[in-house]
Amino acid sequence: MYVLVVIVILTALVHPSEAEVNLVYQQETRQSGEYSEAFPASNAVNGNTSDFSYTAAGQQANWWMVNLGSKYSIGSITLYNRLEPYGEYQNNGGVRIQPSDPSLSSDDWTRVSYQEDAYPQVQTHNFTPPIEGQHVAIFNIHPEGLALAEVEIREYCYSRGKLSFQYPPSEDANNAADGDLSKYSSTRNHTNGWWKVDLGRQILFREVKIFVRDGQCYEEACSSHLRQVYFLTNPTNTDFSPNNENIDDWNICSYSETSLGDEYIRSCDTGIAYPLTRQFSIFSTAETQIELRQVEVYGHGEFVIRHSHAVFPC
């Protein structure tokens, strides 16, 4: 009864970085009936893995769903199963994603995973490329119902693990794209210094989350005081780097004369809102060091991957 799933599902080898936001936390949830008031659908998004949601027993087809509130490029979904001995009932099911239509009668859900075996205690599905969606449903076919201790959904980070460069170099430029907030990149104290990442493909840039090394100063230049800073995008993988002469050859996504703090989000407030982007760069005309714990580039959900269709939700 099921069509073939052609997407490659990768089991997580690394835990998402603490920088990535869990999209489902306290979002709107619902499920196919309720076992009792003690097990509402919201128990699967309360940040606590010791309690769980639980659908009414005695129904053959069971589902749980969350509305993310907006369309995202979903990079990973992590399921925490109910603890033993009843976790074994959580089998013969999987995950579906719906792009945007909130209609429950829609037949436009995409099945992105399915398994007959019992879900393990913790299971992460990574999606490369990401899958666009606003609604996510977990389903199973079992008379004992569907229980979920917790569900985590994270947006796809296009800069993660991608090749990075900087000038003039000090600490490794790739440290700003490694998913580890404890390791940082650094340029030497200089005017017109820059850092950039090659995303490896073109995306529609939506926003970037930047974690600057905090509280570090060198010759009166503090990295957390990163100022006179341009946020640049480029649709090609050209090897030319930003400087005062060629900055107009880049798309100036935004600019800040003053420090934006240690952690902040920037979207484009000049020119095109969602520029086609292959490279993203941070360029400062101030005499300073550019020290970055993490730079996370996110896309405007545009690259729809559809693999199969089924009547909601399973």
The DSSP result for 16-50, as a single string, is PPTTS-BTTTT-EEEESS-S-TTS-GGGGGSS-TT
Site string for Ca ion, 6-45 (x = CB under 5 A): -------------------------------------x--
Query: Is residue 64 within 8 Å of residue 75, measured between CB atoms?
Result: no
Q: Which member of 155, 178, 198, 296 binds Ca ion (CB under 5 A)?
A: 178
Q: Which member of 132, 144, 150, 171 binds Ca ion (CB under 5 A)?
A: 150
| 243 vs 192: CA distance, rounded Å | 6
Q: Which stretch binds Ca ion (CB under 5 A): 82-90, 130-138, 139-147, 173-181?
A: 173-181
Q: Is 176 helix (H, G, I), strand (E, B) or coil?
A: helix
CB-nearer residue toward Ca ion: 123 or 228: 123
Smallest distance, Ca ion to C-beta of residue 273, A: 28
CB-nearer residue toward Ca ion: 126 or 294: 294
Site size toward Ca ion, by CB under 5 A: 10
Smallest distance, Ca ion to C-beta of residue 210, A: 11
| 286 vs 297: CA distance, rounded Å | 23
CB-nearer residue toward Ca ion: 37 or 245: 37
| 164 vs 182: CA distance, rounded Å | 17
Query: Is residue 66 within 8 Å of residue 29, measured between CB atoms?
Result: yes
Q: Which member of 24, 155, 294, 296 binds Ca ion (CB under 5 A)?
A: 294
Smallest distance, Ca ion to C-beta of residue 164, A: 10
Query: Is residue 126 within 8 Å of residue 10, measured between CB atoms?
Result: yes
Smallest distance, Ca ion to C-beta of residue 50, A: 7
Q: Which member of 71, 183, 225, 227 binds Ca ion (CB under 5 A)?
A: 183
Query: Is residue 114 within 8 Å of residue 5, measured between CB atoms?
Result: yes
Assess 48 for contact with Ca ion (CB under 5 A).
yes
Q: Which of 206, 171, 175 is nearest to 186 (CA)?
A: 171
Q: Which of 17, 22, 132, 20 is nearest to 80 (CA)?
A: 22
Smallest distance, Ca ion to C-beta of residue 271, A: 29
Smallest distance, Ca ion to C-beta of residue 230, A: 21
Q: Which stretch binds Ca ion (CB under 5 A): 46-54, 157-165, 235-243, 273-281?
A: 46-54
Helix H or strand E segment including 126:
strand 122-141
CB-nearer residue toward Ca ion: 114 or 195: 195
Query: Is residue 264 within 8 Å of residue 256, measured between CB atoms?
Result: no
In the complex, the residues that contact Ca ion under the rule CB under 5 A are 43, 46, 48, 51, 150, 175, 178, 180, 183, 294
